[in-house]
Amino acid sequence: MKLLLTVLVCFFAGMGAGLGTGFAGMSAAAVITPMLVGMLGVEAYQAIGIALASDVLASAISAYTYHKNKNLDVKNGLVMMGSVLAFTLVGSWVSSQVPNQTMGSFSTWMLLLLGVKFLVKPVMTTRESMEAVSAPKRLVQSLAGGAVIGFICGFIGAGGGMMMLFILTSALGYELKTAVGTSVFIMTFTAATGALSHFAIGGAPDVLLLVLCIAFTLLWARLAARFANRAAPEVLNRAMGGVLTVLGAVLLSLRALGISG
């Protein structure tokens, strides 16, 4: 019975995380961590490590799919990734200097609000208008956007994938598919760094949980990324908005019931 519960929790956690990753470049930790902690009693630090490890392959296969369909800005993605990593450290240091505040629900609210945003106000930027921005201006935007994302993530410890998607589409004027492709490309490396550090500090995770979460997240991320790259912008906005809204609502409900911690 315990094994069946473990498989079911990992399946639904992986499904939510994979769909969020493939559609929107969302961090798998936003879904997997609260479900492992709340439903299986996994220690929080280990759960985050498992979620980040699941994120690596899911983001990598999603990034490959978006790149294959020419929906990935590698050059500016690398610039933004460097800026994100640097300012995450800055944000973490600043956070340590101010009184502690509870920000655990930030990424969950971000899911819900972004989902509603894509449903109510779809991102309809075209590739042509996106590419009309000059290379120097895009470089500066990538540095600045990465700095904002990194600082916020370091300061409150959450929301990286969603912040990245929001800034890429709303502030930097990216076409939706390219924004998601660039986001999952960056998340591949940030998740790998996070997973390795968690396992190095906290020790090896539960192998069964690790394998199940990685497998299910990878499966659903692959399916979501393939669908997203074939879908028309209107359909993708609706699908993305629906997935994020449902995930956000479910996670907020679990939190309200005291299940997700």
Q: What is the reported pLDDT for 173?
A: 86
Candidates 172, 194, 8, 167; CA nearest to 85 is 194
Task: Dump strand ranges (E) for the chain.
Answer: none
Sign of CA dihedral 3, 8, 9, 11: positive
In this prediction, residue 101 has a pLDDT band, given cuts at 50, 70 and 90, of: very low
Question: For the segment 130-186, what is each residue's pLDDT rounded down to a tens digit?
Answer: 878 888 898 899 999 889 888 877 665 555 677 888 888 888 888 989 999 999 999
Q: What is the reported pLDDT for 73?
A: 92
Question: For the segment 217-254, what is each residue's pLDDT rounded down to a tens digit?
Answer: 999 999 999 999 999 888 888 888 888 888 888 878 87
| pTM for the whole structure | 0.83
Question: For the segment 188-197, what is each residue's pLDDT rounded down to a tens digit?
Answer: 988 888 888 8
